[in-house]
Structure 1
Amino acid sequence: MGERMSETETPVQITREGPVVRLTLNRPQRRNAMNNAMGAALDAALDALEADHDSRVVVLSGAGGHFCAGLDLGEVASGGTEAERLAAQQARNHRTGQRFLRLSRLPQVVVAAVQGSAHAGGLGWVCSADIAIATADARFCAPEVRRGLVPAQILPWLTRRMGRSAATRMVLRGDVIDATEAGRLGLVHQVVDDAAGLDAAVGTVLADLRQGAPMALAETKALIAALGPLSPDGYAEAGAQAFAKCAAGPEAREGIAAFQQKRPPAWAG
């Protein structure tokens, strides 16, 4: 059994099982959508993992049968002046992109164990992990344009994992794809039947990784990163600016309201 590192209920549960650290996104009532509190908890977890010389693997998953539904849109729609919203959204989007980058650069091997929804920012976690395994009921979607937003920080990760053509189709169409299609496109590396199969598949990966020398695994990850940058210089900032511009504008107000009210947005008519 895993030893819980914190007994306090937090947006991210952290447990250790020998050299394996499990990060569980823990807002099940919101399908583990990312809010400011979850972001702060993830930043703290990444700080600890970057300095952790004992752990070798990180398993990232979600509580309650879902992985991550992306950004909590209630926070996107929060008040303030237009200038304040613009600055807040730019900062939030930039921080989100940095978290994906930091996860990918961890010395530990990162395994994403995906059930249920992996939408929007949730795709960033899937694709910045080294290995992704999904259950058959997992569903993947980049719906930002349907909300009046842009997939700013996830786009480079989707492109790296799936290729530009498949990523382009996914972010422009904004539809939901199932686990079989996600496997075919290379969005995930393996699809299993159910939660029990996911546990077994993760266990097999962990057994394989234990055969690798810790320093050799970390150095191999560093070499993969050295093959080339994720995106051109300046992209992260340009993406944050584009996200902020859309998030603070009228399309996002309508798109988020339509999503919350379960109706089509005005432009869909």
Structure 2
Amino acid sequence: MGEKSSNQSTGYQTLNISTKDDLCFIQLYRPEAKNTLNDLLIEEFRQALLSCHSTAKILIIEGLSDIFCFGADLQALANTPSEIQSGPEPLYDLWYQLTTGPFVTVAHVRGKANAGGVGFVAACDLVLADSKAEFSLPELLFGLMPACVLPFLIRRIGYQKAHAMTLMTKPISSEEAYRWGLVDAYAEDSQALLNQHLLRLRRLSKTAIGRYKNYLNKLDVSLAAAKPNALAANQVVFSDPNNLSKINRYVNTGQFPWEA
């Protein structure tokens, strides 16, 4: 975590939460599952946001030292009937809250940010990365698409860069992500980089941040407008039996769709 915390919450199964004055550190913590996203993590993250909504000035989103977030939990997806899954809306709403909430959100990325992990990154106000971090959108390899990620990603890096990243499916480095605007700063010692940024950000008042974010949200209504199409597109690809078959095969054998 970014700094020694004055308070740490142990009431979560998928997150580590710590606070220090007006800072709130939220660490995605599912090391047994490569920090993938499931319904429980999304719900616990929503609760964590609510708990620090009125008090935290700055939220720092972190993962593990080698994996920030590896996207959707394909194991859970393969084993859970689609009719009892919560669907994409809670995750989209969570990213929307990160983007529009009355606080500064900082993604501190070390290691791999894959698929939905890129969604968390793109939803944050500032992105700081380790020099060895990687960012990728592999969804099309499985016949899927980053439907809910794209509105946030396009808003951050532009249509063509997001389009190319989706089509190519390969990871991009911190350096390339910085050139594209996905990363605001990167360094070999990303912890020191984070601490430097926090020194500056903590000079801002909670009131000023809230008023500014509220004004900014009125200038850009793209995320709210994109939501219905994003949810519909997500539903189409995740209900396709052929795509689900590819996911099941990958989960059970480790073979990618293009492998014989």
Number of equivalent positions: 256
Q: Which range is displaced more, 172-181 or 240-249?
A: 240-249
Residue 5 of structure 1 aligns to a residue in which SS?
Answer: strand
Q: Which amino acid aligns with 1:186?
A: G
Query: After superposition, what is the alpha-carbon deviation per residue over 1:209-243, rounded to whole angstroms, capped at 9, x for unaligned?
Result: 1222321122112222211213463x322322222
Contact 1:148 1:254 in 2 (8 A): no
Backbone CA RMSD of aligned residues: 1.9
Query: TM-score, normalized by length of structure 2?
Result: 0.91
1:34, distance to aligned residue in structure 2 (A): 0.6
Alignment-derived partner of residue 219 in structure 2: 227
- Aligned residue for 1:16, secondary structure, equals strand
Partner of 2:205: 213
SS where residue 187 of structure 1 aligns? Answer: coil
Task: State the 1:76 CA deviation.
Answer: 2.1
Partner of residue 240, structure 2: 249
CA contact (8 A) 2:65 2:110 kept: no
Please give the secondary structure, in 2, of the residue aligned with 1:113. Answer: strand
Q: Is the 8 A contact 2:14 2:40 kept in 1?
A: yes
Q: 2:26 is paired with a residue of what secondary structure?
A: strand
- 1:199 is aligned to 191
What is the CA deviation profile of residues 62-118 of structure 1, one whole-angstrom value per residue up to 9, with x for unaligned ones?
Answer: 1343211111112222344xxxx2x556x4211111110011122111110001111
Aligned to 2:108: 113
TM-score computed with the length of structure 1 as normaliser: 0.88
Quick one: which amino acid aligns to residue 209 of structure 2? L
How far is 1:207 from its partner?
0.8
Counterpart CA distance in 1 for 2:171 and 2:247 is 18
1:237 to 205, 214, 228: 228
1:67 aligns to what SS in structure 2? strand
8 Å contact 2:96–2:223 — kept in the other structure?
no
Letter aligned with residue 264 of structure 1: F
Q: 1:27 aligned to 2:19? A: no
Distance 1:259 1:69 in 2: 15
Match of 2:113, SS state, is strand
Q: Which amino acid aligns with 1:242?
A: A
Structure 2: 5+ residue runs without aligned partners?
A: none
Q: Distance in 2 between matches of 1:134 and 1:259?
A: 29
Alignment match, 2:57: 56
Percent of residue pairs bearing the same amino acid type: 26
Matches for 1:78-227 after TM superposition, within 5 Å? 78-80=79-81, 85=82, 87-88=83-84, 91-193=86-188, 197-227=189-219
In the TM superposition, residue 200 of structure 1 has moved relative to its aligned partner by: 0.9
CA contact (8 A) 1:150 1:243 kept: yes
Query: Any idea what the Cα deviations from partners look like across 1:155-214, whole Å, max 9, x if unmatched?
Result: 011101110010000112211111111111111101111xxx211111111111122232
Contact 1:148–1:252 (8 Å) recurs in 2: yes
Structure 1 residue 262, shift from structure 2 partner? 2.8
Look up the equivalent residue of 2:222 and give its one-letter code: L
Q: Which letter does structure 2 place at the counterpart of 1:248? A: S
Per the TM alignment, residue 122 of structure 1 is displaced from its structure 2 partner at its CA by 0.7
Q: CA deviation at 1:8?
A: 4.3
SS for the counterpart of 1:182 is helix
After superposing the two structures, state which structure 1 stretch, 30-39 or 237-246, moved more.
Answer: 237-246
State the one-letter code of the partner of 1:257. Answer: N
Q: Secondary structure at the match of 2:67?
A: coil
Contact 1:115 1:135 in 2 (8 A): yes
Rounded Cα–Cα distance in structure 2 between residues aligned with 1:262 and 1:16: 39
Tell me by how many angstroms 1:258 deviates: 4.4
Match in the other structure for 1:15:
18
Q: Where in structure 1 do 4 or more consecutive aligned residues deviate above 4 Å? A: none
